[in-house]
Chains A and B, each alone.
Chain A
Amino acid sequence: MIYADTSFIAAAYGLDANTVAARRFIETNHPRLPLVFLHWPELAKSFWTSHPENAEKLWDWVKEDVAGGKKLYPLELEADLVARRAAGLIINFCPRWKKLRSLDALHVATAVAGNFKTFVSFDTRSFQRVLATTQKLKVWPPLTTEENLALK
């Protein structure tokens, strides 16, 4: 079971520096990816700022694919449960990583709450992927040297 954060889904539907890597992953794994409440606002921001001329088409495409259920599917999780789990992660890891963002913790908490095994994200600039590793999630792409250092 694979959880992809918004950086991956935006790269798969839009066109950015990670699109080639996203395509490679999709062609290898044929994932069926969950969309949760966290994805929608971030996807909207990505589409309307990066591809304003095609934003509505991309938005409708994602909605159709969620309804179709073959590529994406709606995953309804109890937001309060996810938020509490994220708070627990913040309490445990914020003293160590001062720049750990709530959003990072929310995505990781979602993956944990949904019993996912693999966490896919291109956000190597935050602590999201490092945090996912601490929760025994398999992270793809593999952690960078800097991220591995943050784990020590």
Chain B
Amino acid sequence: MTLLQTRVEDKIARRFEKVARKRGETTYSFLQKIVFAAAEAPEPETWDNHWEKSKSLHLKPARKTVAEQREESGER
């Protein structure tokens, strides 16, 4: 399956070719790598699973809040 047939500005295309060459890739292999990485990237986290993740860290309750720390250090 052909996924991308995208027209881009000449300037962008030349820069892309240059970066690919610098990394020892062909334009095509570099583009493929980028597509693979994007497809495998995990979904960004939302607040929905935040608390479960927090619980899994087994945090000990902090003795001081940020407000107390600010006060204690006499931050001006």
The chain A residues found within 8 Å of chain B, CB to CB, are 6-7, 10-18, 23, 26-27, 30, 42, 45-46, 49-51, 53-54, 57-58, 61, 64-65, 67-71, 101-103, 122-126
- Per DSSP, chain A at the interface is helix
The answer for the CA separation of A110 and B69 in the assembled complex, in Å, is 21
10 contacts between A and B (CB under 8 A): A11-B66, A26-B47, A30-B47, A50-B64, A51-B62, A54-B57, A68-B44, A103-B75, A103-B76, A122-B67
CB atoms of A7 and B67 under 8 A apart: yes
CB atoms of A17 and B44 under 8 A apart: no
CB atoms of A102 and B59 under 8 A apart: no
Q: How far is the CB of B15 from chain A (nearest CB, A)?
A: 23
CB atoms of B47 and A71 under 8 A apart: yes
CB atoms of A101 and B69 under 8 A apart: no
Instruction: Give the residue of B44, B60, B67, B75 whose beta carbon is less than 8 angstroms from that of A124.
Output: B67
Closest to A57 in B: B57
CB atoms of B75 and A70 under 8 A apart: no
CB atoms of B44 and A23 under 8 A apart: no
The chain B residues found within 8 Å of chain A, CB to CB, are 44-47, 50-51, 53-54, 57, 59-71, 75-76
The answer for the CA separation of A57 and B62 in the assembled complex, in Å, is 16
The answer for the CA separation of A11 and B63 in the assembled complex, in Å, is 12
Q: How far is the CB of A92 from chain B (nearest CB, A)?
A: 18
Q: How far is the CB of B41 from chain A (nearest CB, A)?
A: 10
The answer for the CA separation of A42 and B14 in the assembled complex, in Å, is 43
Closest to A16 in B: B62
The answer for the CA separation of A68 and B63 in the assembled complex, in Å, is 30
Residues of A within 8 A of B60 (CB): 15, 51, 53
The answer for the CA separation of A101 and B74 in the assembled complex, in Å, is 9
Q: How far is the CB of A19 from chain B (nearest CB, A)?
A: 8
Instruction: Give the residue of B54, B63, B65, B76 whose beta carbon is less than 8 angstroms from that of A122.
Output: B65
CB atoms of B50 and A12 under 8 A apart: yes
Closest to A5 in B: B66
Instruction: Give the residue of B50, B53, B59, B70 whose beta carbon is less than 8 angstroms from that of A123.
Output: B70
